[in-house]
Structure 1
């Protein structure tokens, strides 16, 4: 029995292969570490444009977005890396000084306040980078505004990201698959938010596919 190219089975198989390829390209692009940002933006761009909207091909879309967002993506990555180091330093100082034993609730509360801008913006920042052309400061403002205004979605995205990270930690051999699956699943939530920030009055040829 020969399956038609338009059959649901073929379509699903094609989507699965595209998600896996996109995740593998993300893994390769992340090797220098500082390129995690542009790689993540390219992954989201590819999942939405190719897997969901059926425009272009995985390889072409991924590397196009990666190159286009390389400079800003590296800048954002470095910011988050520095932020993470500061948070780890704070935890180290507090635990070694014995402050945690004396005032654990204060430590937890202050830690949550310090970490919240980092945690709530991560699920949005790279999808924002892939979609909007603005300064890095503007990217963070958009991501922060989205995280607060659509807080229930933000919580779901954080839980999904945490689950993806845990799976990769427990099963490292899935590192080439999980990122693409996470980007695909999260895109159904993120797109609902991004669409509200896009002007639909004028659809350019380059951006019209976002509205399909």
Structure 2
């Protein structure tokens, strides 16, 4: 029991990482306020969480802002594209909901929107993880994120479940849990994606 609770024990190391993830959640939120910087902020968050997953974290705040600056241009473009695609899907989904009626056309369009929404979620879960880990073109980042998301579908579903569970916890159970929010979810997702990213290093990603 003493080994579990000592400074280098697994329990305190885990709690330390949770505290780090809370602080990263705060930094992420602050840097997302201008909206256009959501991409750069999310990449920086993933970069720090990946280091934590590999037990390589040090000077969390400095690491966050270093990644924020280094990946700013490409991450910002990716973020703006994802915002635009998300807004388009939301508007189209709302229109189809308001026009709800039984017809072949409505069914086909709804099916296409559902497939597009699933693809969007897969890309959203992976693209910033890839951007934080690899150097590649924006087009290839989108292609690889959907490919990896589909190839490792169980991990993708688990990552999505982490965010959904956190959202339900905040909304229905404990609103103050928002302090953990995206930071803690991203840390758990980085833990899930750690071996996959290592595996992809030997391939052309």
TM-score (norm 2): 0.83
Q: How does 1:39-188 map to 2 (within 5 A)?
A: 39-50=41-52, 52-96=54-98, 98=99, 100-103=100-103, 105-169=107-171, 173-188=176-191
Q: For 1:143 and 1:193, how far apart are their aligned partners in 2?
A: 12
The answer to whether the 8 A contact 2:43-2:68 is kept is yes
Q: Does 1:191 pair with 2:178?
A: no
Q: Taking structure 1 as reference, are residues 175 and 38 closer, same or farther at Cα in structure 2, changes over 3 Å only?
A: farther
Deviations 1:76-108 (CA, angstroms, capped at 9, x unpaired): 111111111211221233234x3x222464454
Count of matched residue pairs: 196
Structure 2 residue 40 is the aligned partner of structure 1 residue 34? no
Query: Structure 2: how far apart are the matches of 1:92 and 1:17?
Result: 38
Runs of 4+ in 1 over 6 A off after TM superposition: none
- Aligned mate of 1:17, from 16, 19, 28: 19
Q: Does the Cα contact within 8 Å between 2:125 and 2:156 map onto a contact in 1?
A: yes
Q: Distance in 2 between matches of 1:8 and 1:93?
A: 50
Unaligned 5+ segments in structure 1 are 201-212
SS in 1 for 2:101: helix
For residues 65 and 42 of structure 2, the distance between their equivalents in structure 1, rounded to whole angstroms, comes to: 11
